[in-house]
């Protein structure tokens, strides 16, 4: 029998604690920890994760967009929340909910100063995003002068931190590039510090940087705390414990004779006697069409069962011809023993995409033993 009776995403808070403490042990005790809980905590549940991390005394939280930060505040989260990629249309809300924007361009700088002025506030804390080589968002050499001049001329904002993001910290072949990113960040930061006359918090490292680049730890490190199901760096496999497990149950079993088909468009046709099981999860739950037609699999009684035919909106069908199982048995998409990274890789994607796609329709179940 299965431990679950429907499709659920289990969130293991003991594993979250373990990962948080492990990553903390890898940085100097003076270095602050910022936990990234963007995209619903990498597809898990941002509020559940943030509340637990707040108990563990995380120093900072980060989300990608303002709405995610507002969700945390409405749930009672008091920890500072950095909004990594805010849009000017939400600046007044960011101020209203005491969120910290990461300002990344002259345009967003001017817009934010206007919003703070309109809200009749001063010295509002902001983080300034530096582009050290990822070339996504951030200030660079070319606009540093305008940036510094603007900051010095306004009482509206105070630079609480300077940050930058690494492009390839998990890649051993890109060490030279990464060291260059660290150097570029230091140079940009030094110029700002020398001009504004005070020293903000510096942060550049992501999870892989915590392990691979102590030089990039500075005053704070940022990490998804292994919420993404690890797997993007082999070094982590031994240390970080996957937090989320996606499980379901066999709804029904059918026996097919040669020539009978499965699902829409008859995408699977049995070449011989075939047993198939139907599982209550589909593309509306985040199992994308790319997993269909044997590009994806689930685990039933420790064996791989390949998805046959097309993924439907609410269901998938899997081949269980050689698997001893019954209706009601447990189905594992991924769990600590069967990583999301492996499932994702098999169908040509990464765990981040698989996890963040899991829709709100899938029930979140918190696991915690004390
Ligand atoms: C997502 C993100 C992180 C977290 O990185 P992980 O390696 O996934 O833990 C850190 N910083 C920024 C700017 C991010 O967008």
Residue 156 corresponds to which tokens in the numbers above?
Answer: 């509206």
Q: Which residues carry out catalysis? A: 38, 264
Atom number in ligand 1 closest to CA 169 = 7
Q: Is 84 in the pocket of ligand 1 (CB under 6 A)?
A: yes
CATH code for position 61: 3.20.20.10
Range of the domain at 288: 244-367
Is the domain of 212 the same as that of 252?
no
Map tokens 């689930």 to a residue: 298
Is the domain of 170 the same as that of 295?
no
For a pLDDT cut of 90, what percent of the chain falls above it?
Answer: 93
Residue-level pLDDT at 1: 60
Is the domain of 256 the same as that of 156?
no
Q: Is 212 in the pocket of ligand 1 (CB under 6 A)?
A: no
Residue 105 neighbours by CB distance under 10 Å: 15
Cβ(300)–Cβ(279) under 8 Å?
no
The domain boundary, picked from 228, 253, 278, lies at 228
Ligand 1, from 36, 163, 202, 355: best to mutate by most atoms within 8 Å of Cβ? 36
Q: Is 207 in the pocket of ligand 1 (CB under 6 A)?
A: yes
* Stretch (H or E) spanning 311: none
Residue 142 corresponds to which tokens in the numbers above?
Answer: 């070319």
Burial of residue 266, with CB atoms counted within 10 A of its CB: 0-12 exposed, 13-18 middle, 19 or more buried? exposed
Please count the helices (runs of H) and the strands (runs of E) in the chain. 11, 19
| 227 Cα–ligand 1 center, Å | 11
Residue-level pLDDT at 230: 66
pLDDT in tens, 63-90: 999 999 999 999 999 999 999 999 999 9
Residue-level pLDDT at 226: 87
Ligand 1, from 63, 206, 240: best to mutate by most atoms within 8 Å of Cβ? 206
Is the domain of 306 the same as that of 166?
no
| 38 Cα–ligand 1 center, Å | 9
Distance CA 43, CA 75 (A): 17
Residue-level pLDDT at 231: 58
Q: Which residues of the chain have pLDDT under 50?
A: none
The domain boundary, picked from 184, 203, 228, lies at 228
Is the domain of 59 the same as that of 166?
yes
Is the domain of 130 the same as that of 77?
yes
Q: How many domains does the chain have?
A: 2
Residue-level pLDDT at 369: 82
CATH code for position 351: 2.40.37.10
Is the domain of 121 the same as that of 249?
no
pLDDT in tens, 12-22: 999 999 999 99
């Amino acid at each position: 029998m299965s431990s679950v009776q429907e499709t659920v995403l289990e969130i293991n808070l003991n594993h979250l604690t373990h990962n948080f403490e492990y990553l903390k042990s890898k940085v100097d005790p003076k270095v602050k920890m910022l936990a990234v809980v963007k995209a619903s905590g990498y597809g898990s549940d941002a509020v559940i994760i943030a509340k637990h991390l707040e108990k563990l005394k995380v120093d900072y939280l980060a989300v990608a967009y303002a709405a995610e930060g507002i969700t945390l505040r409405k749930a009672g989260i008091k920890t500072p929340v950095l909004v990594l990629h805010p849009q000017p249309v939400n600046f007044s809300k960011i101020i209203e909910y005491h969120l910290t924007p990461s300002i990344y361009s002259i345009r967003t700088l001017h817009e934010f100063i206007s919003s703070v002025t309109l809200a009749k506030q001063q010295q509002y804390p902001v983080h300034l995003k530096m582009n050290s080589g990822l070339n996504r968002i951030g200030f660079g050499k070319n606009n540093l002068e305008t940036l510094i001049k603007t900051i010095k001329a306004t009482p509206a904002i105070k630079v609480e931190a300077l940050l930058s993001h690494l492009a390839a910290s998990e890649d051993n072949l890109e060490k030279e590039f990464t060291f260059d990113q660290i150097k570029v960040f230091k140079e940009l930061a030094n110029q700002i510090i020398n001009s504004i006359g005070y020293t903000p918090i510096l942060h550049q490292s992501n999870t892989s940087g915590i392990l691979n680049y102590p030089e990039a730890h500075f005053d704070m490190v940022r990490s998804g705390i292994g919420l993404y199901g690890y797997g993007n760096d082999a070094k982590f496999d031994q240390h970080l414990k996957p937090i989320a497990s996606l499980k379901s149950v066999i709804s029904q079993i059918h026996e097919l004779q040669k020539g009978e088909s499965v699902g829409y468009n008859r995408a699977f046709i049995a070449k011989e006697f075939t047993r198939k099981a139907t599982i209550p999860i589909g593309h509306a739950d985040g199992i994308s069409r790319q997993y269909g037609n044997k590009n994806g699999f689930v685990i039933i009684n420790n064996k791989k069962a390949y998805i046959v035919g097309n993924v439907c909106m609410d269901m998938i069908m899997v081949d269980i011809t050689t698997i001893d199982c019954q209706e009601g048995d447990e189905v594992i998409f991924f769990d600590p023993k069967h990583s999301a990274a492996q499932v994702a890789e098999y169908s040509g994607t990464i765990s981040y995409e698989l996890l963040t796609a899991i829709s709100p329709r899938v029930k979140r179940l918190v696991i915690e033993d004390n």
